[in-house]
Amino acid sequence: MSALSGSYGWTDTLRRVKYGPGCVATALPELIQLLGVRKGLIVTGRSLATKTDVVSKVEEILKAHNAYAGVFTDFGEHTPVAGINACIKLYQSTGADFIVALGGGSPIDGAKAVRFRLHEQSGDAPVPQIAIPTTLSAAEYSIGAGYTNEDGEKVAVSHQLLAPAGIILDAELTLPTPSRLWLSTGIRSLDHSVETLYRPLVSHPVKILCYAAMADLFKYLPISMTDPTNVEARQKLLIAAWMSLWPNKFEEYSALGMSHALGHRLGAKYSIPHGITSCLTLSPVVAIQSRVASKEDKEYLANTLFYLREPSTGSIEGDILKLSELIARLVEQLGLKSTLSGYNVPREDFSKLAQGNDDLVELLNGIY
């Protein structure tokens, strides 16, 4: 079905997105009142809690409104299941009735997984979640969550009510985020926007938002690298991440493309951060699309050059290859170029990782 026909909808769960530098001080109390909740458990990462003042700022706001239940900091990268189990115990023991997920994709997805498990146990609707991202991973805009089981395999859960009830985009809270994490998750957002152009069942207006996201990511990521204290650039990037994964309600299952699929396999198996997996896979996957994508999908990809203010090569396939080159150049400009050998990924695993796709085997050899 063409992207020029269809429907758009999402979920009734998301009540409000609040954004702007310094907005957390007013946005968090407003959301607590809007949702009618009482005690919030902060779910975050250990580094954010121990190496920055971000968590203490949010704690102070909750305490000032008698809405503080505690803080959980033991979510590691790729959200190990042990952390989920420990978080559930703390949530239940504190009398919390909502979760404030603060940080990157791991605590935000981890909180969704906790809520899913609690929903399974009680049969009640998932407890409300307020998401406050400090990276550009955009995990807050999905109804799914991924975590890693005891065998190191990625497990996915999904429920229409797992969308956060509130999202707060405050660039000031992102200032302590390490540069490599901030910039690489920006490439993750670029991955979202590119692969949404050929994701099934996505409406035309959402694809246009992706072009706007790409333009801002290409413009503001280098600015943010050069001047990490530029709050305006960081706020533009938070909004670009939002546009890159604009919430959709799909009537049928609709997965993102090869870059995401391969990135999930690499991340879970070899502990490669998801931002870095996008740095590895996105450019070569786009090059593959110049050969294998449908005519309509090729046109959407080729049109990206217009929004990036880049001249056409004169052919659709050539324009897609140029987009691939521009992505690779941006990754290198940001100091994020990596290799599979640098992460000790053995060549003998390539066939399993590619799951029988010869193009992906070639891709993996190319980034080794």
Q: Write down the pLDDT at residue 252.
A: 66
Q: Write down the pLDDT at residue 166.
A: 93
166 and 189 assigned to the same domain: no
189 and 160 assigned to the same domain: no
10 domain residue, yes or no? no
Segment 220-232 shows an average pLDDT of 97
- Chain segment 305-355, per-residue pLDDT in tens: 999 999 999 999 999 999 999 999 999 999 999 999 999 999 998 988 988
Q: Write down the pLDDT at residue 264.
A: 86
142 and 196 assigned to the same domain: no
- Chain segment 84-113, per-residue pLDDT in tens: 999 999 999 999 999 999 999 889 989 999
Q: Write down the pLDDT at residue 37.
A: 97
Q: Write down the pLDDT at residue 279.
A: 97
312 and 290 assigned to the same domain: yes
Domain that holds residue 308: 179-366
217 domain residue, yes or no? yes
Q: Given 122, 139, 174, which residue is the final one in a domain?
A: 174
What confidence category does residue 249 fall into, taking pLDDT thresholds of 50, 70 and 90?
confident
Q: Write down the pLDDT at residue 6.
A: 55
Segment 63-91 shows an average pLDDT of 89
What confidence category does residue 40 fall into, taking pLDDT thresholds of 50, 70 and 90?
very high
2 domain residue, yes or no? no
Question: What is the CATH classification number for the domain harbouring 202?
Answer: 1.20.1090.10
Q: Write down the pLDDT at residue 241.
A: 97
36 domain residue, yes or no? yes
184 domain residue, yes or no? yes
Q: Write down the pLDDT at residue 74.
A: 85
Structural domain count of the chain: 2
| 284, 366 Cβ separation under 8 angstroms | yes
Segment 24-51 shows an average pLDDT of 95
130 and 213 assigned to the same domain: no
Q: Write down the pLDDT at residue 42.
A: 98
225 and 169 assigned to the same domain: no
7 domain residue, yes or no? no
281 and 162 assigned to the same domain: no
Segment 259-273 shows an average pLDDT of 88
Name the percent of the chain lying above pLDDT 70: 95
189 and 166 assigned to the same domain: no
147 and 201 assigned to the same domain: no
Place of tokens 């979510």: 75
Please tell me the pTM assigned to this model.
0.92
| Residue 190 pLDDT exceeds 80 | yes
37 and 20 assigned to the same domain: yes
Question: What is the CATH classification number for the domain harbouring 129?
Answer: 3.40.50.1970
143 and 226 assigned to the same domain: no
Q: Given 174, 199, 215, which residue is the final one in a domain?
A: 174
Segment 199-210 shows an average pLDDT of 93
138 and 276 assigned to the same domain: no
Q: Write down the pLDDT at residue 78.
A: 66
Q: Given 141, 174, 207, which residue is the final one in a domain?
A: 174
Q: Write down the pLDDT at residue 310.
A: 98
9 domain residue, yes or no? no
11 domain residue, yes or no? no
- Chain segment 141-184, per-residue pLDDT in tens: 988 887 777 777 777 888 888 899 999 999 999 999 999 999 99
